[in-house]
Amino acid sequence: MSNDNNNAAANAPSSNFLRAIVENDIATGKHKRPGLPSVITRFPPEPNGYLHLGHAKSICVNFGLARDYAGRCHLRFDDTNPEKEEQEYVDTIMDSVKWLGFSWEQDGEAWLHYASDYFDKLYEMAEYLIKTGKAYVDSQSAEEMAKNRGNFSTLGTNSPFRNRPAEESLQLFRDMKAGKYKDGEHILRAKISEDAMSSPNMNMRDPALYRIRHAHHHRTGDKWCIYPMYDYTHPISDAIENITHSICTLEFQDHRPFYDWLVDTLAEGGFFQRPVPRQYEFARLNTTYVVTSKRKLRQLVEEGIVSGWDDPRMPTLVGLRRRGFTPESIQLFCERSGVSKADGWIDMGNLEIALRDDLDPKAPRGIAVLRPLKLIVDNFPEGESVECAAPVHPHHPEWGTRSFPFSKELWIEEEDFMEVPTKGYFRFTPPVDDKPGSRVRLKYGFVAECTGYDKDENGKATAVHVNYFPDSKSGTPGADNYKVKGTITWVSAANALQAEVRLYDRLFTDPHPDAGGKDFKAALNPKALETITAYLEPGLAKANAEDRFQFERHGYFVADRVDSQPGKPVFNRITTLKDSWGGK
């Protein structure tokens, strides 16, 4: 996708079919209930990993709809798999949701829930399903169950335990709860209909409701040794919390018939009042140049390919935050990507466009020299300096100015000098024969003319010599008399802040690094991180962690939130000023 196409796509109006559903439900009073808002959504992460860019879309959709229609959104942890869950993940998920700009706290109440809050109720409902012949304990092995379940081309076969008497299943289930059986000895399954094992929808073929797991739970401890399955827990939790619109991604579309069957069946049993929740699906956010599989992200961390979950090259929200992305830019990206039923790919360039659109009007400016080359102003007095001024932001004069010294020795970018210039090159070039060297404006400072250069034994330039024109200082009378084609940035060598700067880029060179069974690690970008020592204008020493700037001509940078120290910031490049991948 070209850069022009990226910009067009990024600025196109977004679609959101869910809004039409919500607005129709509000108009018809479908979910009008005493003391409750008409829109209650939820975000139900599993506390077994770090949230990533795809989760950001779900957060924005669920919390955004609740915000826009005077409702509320619950944060609910699906903590039904104790072997993979940790408090660390609970804490980072809560922190990421808040950082992204959303809250589950409203009107003095905290709409924070855990599936484990409902374990007693879930168990009670499971017993009800057994007693009414809608669930049974299956004693097949996992291999036998998988074989008898069939596949998309083969119908399933009833379990030999499917018609086990309800009393027997109930006793077995109670014994499972009491810890009398080992993991995998028995499992509780739904019996949706007599011909359920012939359903073309695999999710309706007697889905599992409970399994035995002798594992310590991070909230309930060792109280339970049976744990409910997600497909059983999720709809019941929605109904208990009076969720109106249960919004999931498309991979749960085939799970919806079971969702509906379960909440309707339990409503008939008197557990819930109608209307019961309904599930709606939208296409997940698929972004190029990243992987979002928890297994693969964990592999990147555990194999030391990245420095951790918050490595700025990671698509995790903690990684994006440390990289310097703003919550507003991620919200803008999610809004622009729209909400639809059609799966597709969004170019990573669109996230970077959203970031630039967000940062351009609010990021203070600064000057950094990333590839330093010494510039010696031969006719400037030794040991003296002249203060130069620049706007903090070119479009916000009320923000004031910043100042920095002009001195005899400066740092400029290596690319700002060329011994043998190419056509159209308007920066420093040396005199040739009777032709003088080029004249260039040192931005916010003076015009200078190249008089020569020093080079090492390999012929590489080590210093450029110039003479400056004292009456050419920017902003002073007569400065406009000097007409030059080139303007470059610089910092005083004597006063510059020497700082570590990390030049981050995309982690993968392939837009679809794990598609089609490819080895995603084969697409790792060897240039995804380059750490350099740069020279910055001295005022940047005051930068606090997470302060963002536009380094003129280079891009947007942030003071690293982990490694920056008072007076000694470490800067991460968030993104360049222009898309450098559009033509690749």
Dist. CA 227–CA 123, nearest whole Å: 9
User: Is residue 278 marked as binding?
Assistant: no
User: Is residue 78 marked as binding?
Assistant: yes
Please state, as a whole number, how many other Cβ atoms lie within 10 Å of the Cβ of residue 419: 14
User: Is residue 218 marked as binding?
Assistant: no
Q: 162, 294, 296, 365: which is the annotated catalytic residue?
A: 294
User: Is residue 536 marked as binding?
Assistant: no
Q: Is 46 a catalytic residue?
A: yes
Q: Is 84 a catalytic residue?
A: no
User: Is residue 69 marked as binding?
Assistant: no
Q: Is 573 a catalytic residue?
A: no
Dist. CA 475–CA 73, nearest whole Å: 54
- Here the tokens at position 171 are 């006793």
User: Is residue 162 marked as binding?
Assistant: no
Dist. CA 140–CA 208, nearest whole Å: 12
Residue 178, helix vs strand vs coil: coil
User: Is residue 413 marked as binding?
Assistant: no
Dist. CA 578–CA 68, nearest whole Å: 33
Q: Among 341, 506, 351, which Cα is nearest to 6's? A: 351
User: Is residue 230 marked as binding?
Assistant: yes
Decide: 316 and 380 in contact? Cβ < 8 Å: no
Q: Among 254, 260, 297, 258, which Cα is nearest to 278's? A: 260
Residues near 300 by Cβ (< 8 Å), separated by ≥ 6?
Answer: 291, 306, 311, 314
- Here the tokens at position 356 are 């630039």
Q: 30, 46, 219, 419: which is the annotated catalytic residue?
A: 46
User: Is residue 80 marked as binding?
Assistant: no
Q: 19, 30, 177, 284: which is the annotated catalytic residue?
A: 284
User: Is residue 54 marked as binding?
Assistant: yes
Secondary structure E strands in 401-552: 401-407, 409-413, 439-442, 447-455, 461-468, 487-488, 491-492, 497-504, 529-536, 548-551
Q: Among 76, 54, 59, 100, which Cα is nearest to 285's? A: 54
Longest CA–CA span in the chain (Å) reads 107
User: Is residue 57 marked as binding?
Assistant: yes
Catalytically annotated residues: 46, 284, 294
Return binding residues for ATP: 46-48, 52-58, 249, 284-285
Return binding residues for L-glutamine: 78, 230
